Amino acid sequence: MTATPGRPPSAADTAGGAAGAGRPAPWRELRRHRPFLLLCGEQAASSVGRQITALALALLAVTQLDAGPFGASALLALTYLPGAVLSPFAGVLADRARLRTLAVTLTALQVVVVGSVPLAGALGRLGLPQLYVVAGLSGALTWTLSVVLQAALPQVVRPGLLLNGNAALTGARTAGQIGGPALGGVLVGLVGASPALLAGVVAYGVETVLLFALPAALNRPAAPAAAGPRFAGLCEGFAVVRAEPVLRRQVLAGAGFNLGSGAADALFVLYAGRELALKPWQLGGVYATFSVATVAGVVLAGRFARTIGLYRATRICALVAALAIFLVPAASLGLAFPALLAYQLVFGGAATVWAISMTTTQQLIAPPGLQGRVAGFAQAALLTTVPVGALSGGALASWLGNVPVLTGAAGATVLAALSFWLPHRPAPRGS
């Protein structure tokens, strides 16, 4: 089922007629759905692997290989840039390849790529160039798999379960994001950053096994390969987004939001630690609050979106999340710790509901044979602005100071969120 062209998906689209058909409640149905439970386990394992990998690579670069601020920023940017460039191509693969085989291959390659770091460390041959290569390759594999799994979910669950399914998968990722850094920090303290990466390798190995256990039906391509050039369908995802006003607005708002929030994220730790003089336990409490808010967003997303409508939930939560960023520069006026706690609480909850609603809307609107290409184009647009925002925010802050740049970043995210309310005319189909 897809939404009517030009019409935002409604509560009926996400309900899927469950009550009328005598089906069990969505959460109960999902708990009995083995393929979906495998995806939840995969998301948790993958998140733990990514968190450990990101922490260990950053610590290796800064503490052992003497990377400066630019080197550390470049390492972060390299995890995003491959996704920005390769996501449209990943969308073509997701629509035309055998999904289970492709997903298993990507995670198996993660084991090899990340495992090369502790191996090189044990041999005494580890250097910064290898870390940059590993960050880039791991980022490419991560974002390609993200597109593949977005395309796979509508094949695993029926349309009426997509909203709850995306919420549950976000919850599984959140569990990994909460436990991953803690586990990584303990392991780095006990055995060092390079050996700690072996835990990330194990997490990726578990992910590979879970994906291999998915049904063989996922090995049927969603769309046949077209005759002609190898990537003749590369622009088809863009064509769908261009023709659908709802998707156009989502991509525009998400890209602008990531531009501003990328700048804010890049400055946050430096600003909170140096300018606001937050103690380490306070900074830890701020990040813990974000995790709690994310869990709350996961729990409330389905009920909130079904109550007021999926697209309305997307619009409202985007604006609330953007307005919350103003609390970050406002913390410099006094009561810094409470202000940042309030920021993480409001931003974490609203942004989580927004992301879940936006992904579900995209999956409901995209045609079955184009799920991967639509997801790939949207992901490329969203990822491109993150490193741009982070690098430009850091450069401007060294000139203007943190507070003016953080205020401007918050203003940019609000403007992006307000684009949901701009008047529009649907693009003519076939143009």
What type of residue sits at position 217?
A
For residue 428, what pLDDT is reported? 41
Instruction: Indicate whether 228 pLDDT > 60.
Output: no
For residue 208, what pLDDT is reported? 93
Instruction: Indicate whether 106 pLDDT > 60.
Output: yes
Tokens, residue 29:
């149905």
Tokens, residue 143:
């974002």
Give residue-wise pLDDT tens across range 201-225: 899 999 999 999 988 877 776 555 5
pTM: predicted TM-score of the whole model, two decimal places: 0.76
Which of the residue ranges 148-152, 280-284, 368-372, 425-429 would you say has the lowest mean pLDDT? 425-429
Percentage of residues of the chain with pLDDT beyond 90: 10
Sign of CA dihedral 54, 60, 65, 67: positive
Instruction: Indicate whether 20 pLDDT > 80.
Output: no
For residue 24, what pLDDT is reported? 58
Mean pLDDT of 174-183: 72
* The residue to which tokens 């993660």 are assigned: 110
Distances (CA, A) of 238 to 7, 310, 375: 18, 22, 10
Give residue-wise pLDDT tens across range 238-282: 888 888 888 888 888 888 888 888 888 777 767 777 778 777 677
Give residue-wise pLDDT tens across range 305-346: 888 888 888 889 999 999 999 998 898 887 888 998 999 899
Instruction: Indicate whether 1 pLDDT > 60.
Output: no
Instruction: Indicate whether 227 pLDDT > 80.
Output: no
Instruction: Indicate whether 112 pLDDT > 90.
Output: yes
Give residue-wise pLDDT tens across range 39-81: 889 988 888 888 888 877 877 776 777 665 566 667 777 787 8
Percentage of residues of the chain with pLDDT beyond 70: 84
- Summary mean pLDDT of the chain: 80
- The answer to whether the CB of 187 falls within 8 A of the CB of 22 is no
Instruction: Indicate whether 431 pLDDT > 50.
Output: no
Instruction: Indicate whether 364 pLDDT > 50.
Output: yes
pLDDT-derived band at 18 (thresholds 50, 70, 90) equals very low
